[in-house]
Amino acid sequence: MIRLYHGSNALIKHIDLAKSKPNKDFGKAFYLSESYRQAEEMSAFTVERLGGLSFVTEFEFDENLLQDNSLNIKIFRDYSKEWADFIFANRNTASMSNIHDFDIIYGPIANDRVGRQIFNYKEGYIDTEEFMNRLKYMKGITFQYTFLLKKLSKNYREYERHAKRL
């Protein structure tokens, strides 16, 4: 079991995938970070944009689920062209639905200025290699777990009593 964190402007009592936003790095999903610090930063960023209070909610996740052959799982072990192309496709779709059918995606977090880099790439101001480099999270490689199906919520347990209010 590992601990994962979600930074938000609300305490997460129950995971509700219907509240997930489309066109994110790995699609419309629930995102968790291995890094408490990164979750704190995401919480502060969300509060700055949307108001509210900062919360980091802690979860426990059984990593053995990543070996479960009954689930469709995508793993990006490092920054790569495939990872950058995947983010571009998810962020650049006009669809409100996901462009893939993965249940869980694990991979590096992109930097906070993805939208600007997508514009630069789409307009031809930067090439694929530069696009990939600019997507790298500026504070070092940090990984995220992305959950896309409600059936998964039973496989990780919330620590509501221990949710940290910043």
Distance (Å, whole) CA 13 – CA 10: 9
Structural domain for 10, as ranges: 2-165
Res 71: pLDDT: 82
Pair 47, 53: CB distance under 8 Å? yes
Among 45-49, 70-74, 84-88, 136-140, the range scoring the smallest mean pLDDT is 136-140
Where does residue 161 rank: exposed (0-12), middle (13-18), buried (19+ CB within 10 A)?
A: exposed
pLDDT of residue 97: 75
Q: What percent of the chain has pLDDT over 70?
A: 87
Question: Is a pLDDT exceeding 50 seen at residue 165?
Answer: no
* Reported pTM: 0.81
